[in-house]
Amino acid sequence: MADPLSPDPFDQPVRDGTPEVVADAPLLLAIDGYEGPIDLLLTLARDQKVDLTRVSILQLADQYLSFVETAKRLRLELAADYLVMAAWLAYLKSRLLLPEPETEEPSGEELAAALAFQLQRLEAMQGVAARLLARPRLGRDVFARGAPEDMPVLEKRIHEVSLYDLLKAYGEHKQRQMKQGPLTIAATELYSIEDAVARVEAMLGKLPSWTKLSSFLPAGWRSGGVKTRSALASTFVATLELAKAGRLEIRQEGAFGPIFLRTPQSQEGGT
Amino acid sequence: MPIPDDRNQQLRLVEAILFASADPVPEEALQARFGEGVQVRELLLDLQALYEHRGVNLSAMGGRWAFRTAPDLGEHLRSETEVTAKLSRAAIETLAIIAYHQPVTRAEIESIRGVATSKGTLDILMEAGWIKPGRRRETPGRPVTWVSTPHFLDHFGLESLRDLPGVEDLRAAGLLDSRSGMGPLAPVALPAEAEPEPAEG
Amino acid sequence: MPIPDDRNQQLRLVEAILFASADPVPEEALQARFGEGVQVRELLLDLQALYEHRGVNLSAMGGRWAFRTAPDLGEHLRSETEVTAKLSRAAIETLAIIAYHQPVTRAEIESIRGVATSKGTLDILMEAGWIKPGRRRETPGRPVTWVSTPHFLDHFGLESLRDLPGVEDLRAAGLLDSRSGMGPLAPVALPAEAEPEPAEG
- Residue B186 resides in a domain: no
For chains A and B, CB pairs below 8 A equal 175
pLDDT at C78: 61
- Residue C63 resides in a domain: yes
Contact check, Cβ <8 Å, C157/B135: no
Q: Given a contact as 3+ CB pairs under 8 Å, which chains touch B?
A: A, C
Q: What is the mean pLDDT of residues A83-110?
A: 84
Contact check, Cβ <8 Å, C96/A159: no
- One domain, residues B46 and B112: no
Contact check, Cβ <8 Å, C16/A168: no
- Residue C192 resides in a domain: no
- Residue B47 resides in a domain: yes
- Residue A165 resides in a domain: no
Distance (Å) from the C-alpha of residue C58 to the closest C-alpha of chain A? 13
The residue of chain C nearest to residue B124, with distances taken between CA atoms, is C174
**Cβ-nearest to C82 among A143, A149, A152:** A152
Share of chain B above pLDDT 70, in %: 84
**The total number of structural domains that make up chain A:** 2
| Separation between Cα atoms, residue A172 and residue A177, nearest integer Å | 8
pLDDT at C4: 82
Share of chain A above pLDDT 90, in %: 6
- Residue A257 resides in a domain: yes
- Residue A221 resides in a domain: yes
- Residue A183 resides in a domain: no
**The total number of structural domains that make up chain B:** 2
| Separation between Cα atoms, residue B83 and residue A139, nearest integer Å | 11
- Residue B40 resides in a domain: yes
The residue of chain A nearest to residue C158, with distances taken between CA atoms, is A163
**CATH code: domain of residue C139:** 1.10.10.10
Which residue would you say has higher pLDDT here, A187 or B143? Answer: B143
- Residue C191 resides in a domain: no
Which residues in B lie closer than 8 A to residue C1 (C-beta atoms)? 75-76
- One domain, residues A46 and A129: yes
- One domain, residues C45 and C102: no
Q: What is the mean pLDDT of residues A46-59?
A: 83
A1-49 residue pLDDT tens:
444 444 444 444 444 443 344 444 344 435 667 888 889 899 888 888 7
pLDDT at C194: 37
Q: Given a contact as 3+ CB pairs under 8 Å, which chains touch A?
A: B, C
In total, chain B counts a number of residues equal to 201
Which residue would you say has higher pLDDT here, B47 or A189? Answer: B47
Among C54, C77, C100, residue at a domain's last position: C77
Which residues in C lie closer than 8 A to residue A146 (C-beta atoms)? 19-23
- One domain, residues C67 and C121: no
- One domain, residues C121 and C61: no
pLDDT at A222: 76
Contact check, Cβ <8 Å, C184/A186: yes
Contact check, Cβ <8 Å, A189/C167: no
Kindly give the parts of chain C with pLDDT less than 50.
80-81, 178-201
**CATH code: domain of residue A242:** 1.10.10.580
pLDDT at C81: 45
Which residues in A lie closer than 8 A to residue B165 (C-beta atoms)? 128, 131-132, 135
pLDDT band at B74; cut points 50, 70, 90: confident
- Residue C97 resides in a domain: yes
Work out the angle at residue B121's Cα, subtended by the Cα atoms of residues B118 and B126, and round it to the nearest 5 degrees.
145
| Separation between Cα atoms, residue A216 and residue A201, nearest integer Å | 11
- Residue A227 resides in a domain: yes
- One domain, residues C130 and C69: no
Among B54, B77, B100, residue at a domain's last position: B77
- Residue A248 resides in a domain: yes
Q: Which of A168-182, B77-91, C171-185 has the lowest mean pLDDT?
A: C171-185
Contact check, Cβ <8 Å, B22/A145: yes
**Average pLDDT for chain A:** 75
B119-130 residue pLDDT tens:
778 999 998 899
Contact check, Cβ <8 Å, B73/C157: no
Residue of A173, A177, A226 to mutate, testing the C interface (most C Cβ within 10 Å of its Cβ): A173
pLDDT at B32 over 50: yes
The residue of chain C nearest to residue B117, with distances taken between CA atoms, is C172
- One domain, residues B95 and B159: yes
Phi, psi of A172 (to 5 degrees): -70, -35
- One domain, residues C44 and C98: no
C32: amino acid identity, one letter: A
Q: Are A258 and A76 in contact, with CB atoms under 8 Å apart? A: no
| Separation between Cα atoms, residue C120 and residue A231, nearest integer Å | 50
Distance (Å) from the C-alpha of residue C140 to the closest C-alpha of chain B? 37
Q: Report ipTM for this prediction.
A: 0.68
**Neighbour count for residue C49 (Cβ, 10 Å):** 10
- One domain, residues B37 and B104: no
pLDDT at B165: 93
Which residue would you say has higher pLDDT here, B148 or A73? Answer: B148
State the DSSP code for C68. Answer: E
Q: What is the mean pLDDT of residues B98-125?
A: 90
**Average pLDDT for chain B:** 83
Which residue would you say has higher pLDDT here, A157 or A212? Answer: A212
Domain that holds residue C105: 89-172
Domain that holds residue A48: 37-99+106-134
- One domain, residues A42 and A114: yes
pLDDT band at A264; cut points 50, 70, 90: confident
SS (H, E, C) chain B: CCCCCCHHHHHHHHHHHHHHCCCCEEHHHHHHHHCCCCCHHHHHHHHHHHCCCCCEEEEEECCEEEEEECHHHHHHHCCCCCCCCCCCHHHHHHHHHHHHHCCEEHHHHHHHHCCCCCCCCHHHHHHCCCEEEEEECCCCCCCEEEEECHHHHHHCCCCCHHHCCCHHHHHHCCCCCCCCCCHHHCCCCCCCCCCCCCCCC
Q: Given a contact as 3+ CB pairs under 8 Å, which chains touch C?
A: A, B
Which residues in B lie closer than 8 A to residue C169 (C-beta atoms)? 106, 133, 143-144
Distance (Å) from the C-alpha of residue B187 to the closest C-alpha of chain A? 6
Q: What is the mean pLDDT of residues A212-236?
A: 80
Contact check, Cβ <8 Å, B21/A218: no
- Residue C66 resides in a domain: yes
A225: left (phi over 0), alpha (psi -120 to 50) or beta: left
Contact check, Cβ <8 Å, C15/B54: yes
Q: What is the mean pLDDT of residues B65-75?
A: 90
Contact check, Cβ <8 Å, C163/B144: yes
Distance (Å) from the C-alpha of residue A225 to the closest C-alpha of chain C? 9
